[in-house]
Amino acid sequence: MAQHLRQVENALDRLLSPHAPPGSAWAAPADLNDAMRYAVLDGGKRLRPLLVLAAFEAVHGAPASDADAAPMRAACAVELIHAYSLVHDDMPCMDNDVLRRGKPTVHVQFGQAGALLAGDALQTLAFEVLTPLDARVDPAVQARLCAILARASGRVGMAGGQAIDLASVGQTLSEDSLRHMHQLKTGALLQASVMMGAACGTASAMALQAMEAFGQAIGLAFQVVDDVLDVTADSATLGKTAGKDADNDKPTYVALMGLERSRAYAATLAEQAHAALQGSGLADTAALAALVNRVIHRVH
């Protein structure tokens, strides 16, 4: 996992290099590139990229270390989408947050217009990364990865979940509605990470089904733990403002079922994720299992 983390950091750093990207006559404007780098580098747990790489290795039994091959591209693309969503969510018109990954948020550092544009360009870059101009990635894989990522991050995925979140301030949601919101807002991209790892090659129907169940369980578990941490951790440990959900009167699992039942629910979801791996018929799911434990036992 440490090796994957290093490889992801290197790949992201290269993608956001200040020089002209391959095939372009121009480099990105320096202000914009600086804001994009600030939003992506030096921080982040990289959970989504790690899920992509671990799922690829579990399903295809091959190492995912080549920075130009599909798995590392998919890993970077999901992280770029995640980073763009944080930049926009932190803006004053959304959650109006000033602290992220222990640093001032992008709009504090680069202004609102700078943050808006950096987020926009990070989203675009995700699809650029998935579609290299050389022939080193099978076009069918490129198309499949774009298809999964776009659906998980758009109107019936992450952005849709964010819209429900906005409309839910001050509301009491049923458990079904809360789960629906989180499946879209956070779950869809986490599940997509796993599915994109599998989609970097030809996967069996059984493996795909296992990855789908695994992705769904770990996606929801992540959000339940997030709600717990918002109540139990302090801002210094989280690297972002703690207690924000209650302050903003947002519906959460803790608000719905209390702290203890939320913790128990996260543990149940973790068991479901492990069970999906055990039933998958795949030989080496140790890295995916380790990521479940990381999600459940994380402190930030």
Residues that bind its own copies (CB under 8 A): 20-21, 23-24, 26-29, 31-33, 36, 84, 88, 91, 93-94, 111-114, 116-117, 119-121, 123-125, 127-128, 130-133, 139-140, 142-144, 146-147, 149-151, 153-157, 159-160, 162-164, 166-167, 180, 184
Task: Please report how close the Cβ of residue 143 comes to its own copies at its closest, in angstroms.
Answer: 4
DSSP annotation of 184: I
The Cα–Cα gap between 273 and 213 comes to 7
Task: Please report how close the Cβ of residue 25 comes to its own copies at its closest, in angstroms.
Answer: 8
Q: Of 92 and 281, which has the nearer Cβ to its own copies?
A: 92
Task: Please report how close the Cβ of residue 118 comes to its own copies at its closest, in angstroms.
Answer: 9
Q: Of 235 and 241, which has the nearer Cβ to its own copies?
A: 241
Task: Please report how close the Cβ of residue 299 comes to its own copies at its closest, in angstroms.
Answer: 30
Task: Please report how close the Cβ of residue 4 comes to its own copies at its closest, in angstroms.
Answer: 25
Q: Of 180 and 294, which has the nearer Cβ to its own copies?
A: 180
Q: Of 108 and 233, which has the nearer Cβ to its own copies?
A: 108
Q: Of 20 and 286, which has the nearer Cβ to its own copies?
A: 20
Task: Please report how close the Cβ of residue 95 comes to its own copies at its closest, in angstroms.
Answer: 9
Q: Of 114 and 197, which has the nearer Cβ to its own copies?
A: 114
